[in-house]
Amino acid sequence: MAGSGGLGGGAGGSQGAGGGPGATLRAPRAPLLFAALVLGAYCLCALPGRCPPAGRIPAPAPAPAEPPRAARSPGTSGLPVASGSGRRRFPQALIVGVKKGGTRALLEFLRLHPDVRALGSEPHFFDRCYERGLAWYRSLMPRTLDGQITMEKTPSYFVTREAPRRIHGMSPATKLIVVVRNPVTRAISDYAQMLSKTPGLPSFGTLAFRRGLGPVDTAWSAVRIGLYAQHLDNWLRYFPLSRFLFVSGERLVSDPARELGHVQDFLGLKRVVTDKHFYFNATKGFPCLKKAQGSGRPRCLGKSKGRPHPRVPEAMVQRLRAFYRPFNRKFYQMTGQDFGWD
């Protein structure tokens, strides 16, 4: 793989440099320095980042002109006909996880609903920026009218130990959405994203296993995120299971309208987003949004979505499947849902 080749090439280049004792002592420095730089860059990708400066999170755009609920006219399919400003509220619902599960797709699909207003960027408040305070967090939110739902999504919340307590402190009535995906394919997708940002990464197998094809390394974030049952245990200390909706990342691709129906029901919304809004893009391998009336063209998610996965040997895939199996089964029992990963 690209990461292994990069490290090997650096070592090979240094072996032919010079001769004598002095050269023997100096030669290893270049490859070791290169390896250190690569691993340092990997750590920056894999570990949670710092809270971004306030200027890095764009201020929410003003709400479009919408009326109070009573000002809707008959025969307009519930569309607003007058103006109103609304106010900023704490989110009543959060998409809290998981990374590379399909959270961006779910958020973009939900934003089609006229009663959903969502922050487009990930504020990372409950994991990185909590010290900025709840007033700062609320100031990021879009304006909403009574009856509309404010949402945001930050997938790293699900694996952040402090996040459940902090969110409960904001509101114990918060609705929590978790998009889950087969943890093996999720880990490979996570690695593909890391590799696109840091081409010199070690191979997937080097990071996922200790000592060659030894024990699975749960210290690596791409593996650890997939231990859904362990993370959910932490959340259930603060929220009952009834506050959660678990969305299948696989079904979000194969049948987005059905999954969006469940999400709209969970949020107490009318089923406005239906199969008429989607078409399957065979090139990308996932659903895209059909063009809305008056818009220019259909809309798919960005170039980073649907990127090809690196080839991982089947023996490694099977080892990971066996490793995750007991965790998956416990997760099925906890949620009352069989996601069919085994």
For the CA atoms of 5, 9, 11, 16, the dihedral, rounded to the nearest 10 degrees, stands at 160
The reply to whether 321 falls in a domain is: yes
Parallel/antiparallel/unpaired status of strands 93-97 and 149-153: parallel
Task: With H, G, I as helix, E, B as strand and everything else as coil, classify residue 86.
Answer: coil
The reply to whether 20 falls in a domain is: no
Report pLDDT digits (tens) over 128-180.
Answer: 999 999 999 999 999 999 999 999 999 999 999 999 999 999 999 999 999 99
Domain of 132: which CATH number?
Answer: 3.40.50.300
The length of the chain is: 342
Measure CA 82 to chain center: 36
The reply to whether 141 falls in a domain is: yes
Q: To the nearest whole percent, how much of the chain has pLDDT over 90? A: 63
The reply to whether 90 falls in a domain is: yes
Q: Which residue is it, tokens 């949020």?
A: 267
Total domains present in the chain: 1
The reply to whether 265 falls in a domain is: yes
The reply to whether 213 falls in a domain is: yes
Tokens for 152, please give them: 């945001």
The reply to whether 38 falls in a domain is: no
Nearest Cα to Cα of residue 287 among 268, 274, 296: 274
The angle, 0 to 180 degrees and rounded to 10, between the axes of the packed helices 103-110 and 256-266 is: 70
Residue 303 annotated as catalytic: no
The reply to whether 282 falls in a domain is: yes
- pLDDT value, residue 336: 98
d(CA 133, CA 140): 12
Report pLDDT digits (tens) over 35-63.
Answer: 444 444 444 444 445 676 554 554 444 44
Report pLDDT digits (tens) over 195-207.
Answer: 999 999 999 999 9
d(CA 339, CA 342): 8
Report pLDDT digits (tens) over 198-240.
Answer: 999 999 999 999 988 899 999 999 999 999 999 999 999 999 9
Tokens for 144, please give them: 């909403």
Q: Which amino acid is at 164?
A: P
Q: How confident is the model at residue 269 (pLDDT cuts 50, 70, 90)?
A: very high
- pLDDT value, residue 3: 35
- pLDDT value, residue 290: 81
- Residue 95's domain comprises 86-335
Catalytic residue among 100, 197, 270, 284: 100
Mark the binding-site residues for 3'-phosphoadenylyl sulfate, compressed into ranges.
Answer: 100-104, 181, 189, 305-309
Residue 190 predicted with pLDDT over 50: yes
Mark the binding-site residues, compressed into ranges.
Answer: 100-104, 181, 189, 305-309
Contact 108, 277 (CB under 8 A): no
Other CB atoms within 10 A of residue 317 CB = 15
